Amino acid sequence: MAPRLGFLCRWGKEKDPQKGTPVVVTMEKPNFSVVEIDGPDAAFRPVEKSRGKNTKQVTWILLLKANRAVGCIAWLVTVLWTLLGTIKKRLIYRQGIAIEGGKLGRGRLLFGVIRVFLVTSIGILAFEMLAYFKGWHYFQHSNLHIPQASELQGLLHSLYVAWLTCRAEYIAPLIQTLSKFCIVLFLIQSVDRMILCFGCLWIKYKRIEPKIEGDPFRSDDVEGGGYKYPMVLVQIPMCNEREVYEQSISAVCQIDWPRDHLLIQVLDDSDDESIQLLIKAEVAKWSHKGVNIVYRHRLVRTGYKAGNLKSAMSCDYVRDYEFVAIFDADFQPNPDFLKLTVPHFKDNPELGLVQARWSFVNRDENLLTRLQNINLCFHFEVEQQVNGVFLNFFGFNGTAGVWRIKALEESGGWLERTTVEDMDIAVRAHLNGWRFVFLNDVKVLCEVPESYEAYRKQQHRWHSGPMQLFRLSLPAVMSSKISAWKKANLILLFFLLRKLILPFYSFTLFCIILPLTMFVPEAELPVWVICYVPVFMSLLNILPSPKSFPFIVPYLLFENTMSVTKFNAMVSGLFQLGSSYEWIVTKKAGRSSESDLLAAAERDSKITNQAQIYRGASESKISELTHLKERKEVVSAPVKKVNKLYRKELALAFLLLLASLRSLLAAQGVHFYFLMFQGVTFLLVGLDLIGEQMS
């Protein structure tokens, strides 16, 4: 006999009223002889209809599933709560920045509405994803009844039909017309970008670059006299630049140029007396070393940077100088800067400006600086270089350039009518027939804004000023004596296409029309407009900085988000709104470069040389300066930096990610309800940002 199984034995001991007949199974060549089953298998027993389900087992199963669901929800809530807590600690309103009460109250109220719509959008998206994976498809489920129009007589049905009619007859044609117009502008701008890129490739292939014939600074020529070195004036305009004044002045004072042919003007517009004293002390230090340097301070700060430069050019001794080099407070030129730029003016009387390229000491500081580096590398490598080679005209960047003083005077000098005085003087000099040269291989170290707050204010000024200038200079352009094709290039390409059309179509097409297509599917944009062409143009923008290719996805989101700020700035400058005349000094971090090593080596001898540097000052003044320097060292102690986030920009970037996810799910048939809440939230964010910029 074969061994009996335990559970079979237990079955046999149970008293079953429907006990069956034992079954004997015989196999050929068995390992065991007989298997005896005392009762019928449960699968073959007759089903008792009166027997109910085991409620205890069902209850335990439900409790286990509920426990698992609650644990999952608790984990998600914990993660979300931690994330929100981290974001809350990094928000700008928790960093002690003072904001007007009324504006802050309005911002909080509108942000509360935006937050409600955003949370609702996320909830509906989660429900639709669950419905999709569960197979709850309205038109694909055979058991669902689709009501006919005759069965629905309620108010909601009538409103829905009216909405469909209005959407198809009135809204969709308007959106389609506007989208076609923006697509045409988009294609024109894309063609312009491609032509610039092809021009840059041609320059590199042919190795076209401004060259200096011979060596104008050979030793045998210099021995005869110093008359070959022209008189150069260097200006350093600054305003409350506590972090960077020292390294900027130090770098400029180390420029390799005959001291009797060089004068440095430190143009200080600071309204903080402690900063004024620190800058005066730095100027006195280099003056004691034999550098020809002077300090100027205006009591009335009118005209911002343009007024500062205009005031400095009015000095009587300026007439003795032939060229003027301008460096902002965070720029650190190399010692050979003048020897690489000034010789281009020799035997070239029509040349009015030599512009050098910017190089950034903090481009790898954070994600924001890396994304700025992409745009600025394309600007210098492609736009400035191509325009300089083929057109001999480009916009002056405001710093790291050398002007012929005669060109400035004949063009009307510095004017205070706009916030882009550098572009203003460049346009007027171009109308007077002066030529420009861009040197891509001459680089000057500087900084890019490391915080979003400083970057947004800088971009607002850079995009509102050109529209101010366009309104003011259009009559002068039309009445100038330059050729017709130069006028067309100045008006159509320089101003309209690159300063007005670019922010207009990018904001309208991708921030207005694209969200509206979620409500109006009849006006859906083609895939090549919203996907292929933008990606291709982004790749072209990244080409000058190939190390930035890993950041292409953040770059796309970054550009879409910044289009709101750029469009607002363009509108405010075009219609002369109040914010278009706002000038806020860009916050600097004071990053050091290789040229600062010499300055660092001299810090040890500051105390010993203090009495000699300030030998003309009184004892009280020396003690005051010493106290200020000690306070500066305490203030400038390294602290942990916290990136400041803005609520509305954070919500806008998150909505862009949701829109991308929704586009992927739309192809799989996910329901339409999520689009309504996301679109409303997107528009509220855009309207709030517009109101903030235009207020």
Token pair, residue 191, equals 């063609």
Q: What is the rounded distance in angstroms from the CA atom of residue 588 to the CA atom of residue 92?
A: 18
Rg (CA), the chain: 36
Q: Which of 269, 328, 424, 688 is catalytic?
A: 269
∠ CA 107-110-113 to the nearest 5 degrees?
Answer: 145
Q: What is the rounded distance in angstroms from the CA atom of residue 141 to the CA atom of residue 77?
A: 33
Token pair, residue 574, equals 């075009």
Distances (CA, A) of 421 to 327, 398, 553: 14, 8, 35
Token pair, residue 117, equals 């719509």
Q: Which residues pair with 357 in a beta bridge?
A: 443
Beta strands (DSSP E) in 386-529 are 401-404, 435-446
Alpha carbon 612 to its chain centroid, in Å, reads: 47
Token pair, residue 642, equals 């916290």
Residue length of the chain: 695
**Is the Cβ–Cβ distance between 606 and 622 less than 8 Å?**
no
The single residue listed with the structure tokens 């420009």 is: 436
**Is the Cβ–Cβ distance between 304 and 298 less than 8 Å?**
no
∠ CA 491-494-499 to the nearest 5 degrees?
Answer: 105
Parallel/antiparallel/unpaired status of strands 232-238 and 323-326? parallel
Q: What is the rounded distance in angstroms from the CA atom of residue 560 to the CA atom of residue 393?
A: 29
∠ CA 234-239-242 to the nearest 5 degrees?
Answer: 100
Beta strands (DSSP E) in 105-260 are 232-238
Q: Which of 268, 328, 330, 422 is catalytic?
A: 422
Q: What is the rounded distance in angstroms from the CA atom of residue 566 to the CA atom of residue 461?
A: 9
**269 part of the active site:** yes
Token pair, residue 76, equals 């998600």
Which residues are part of the catalytic machinery? 269, 422
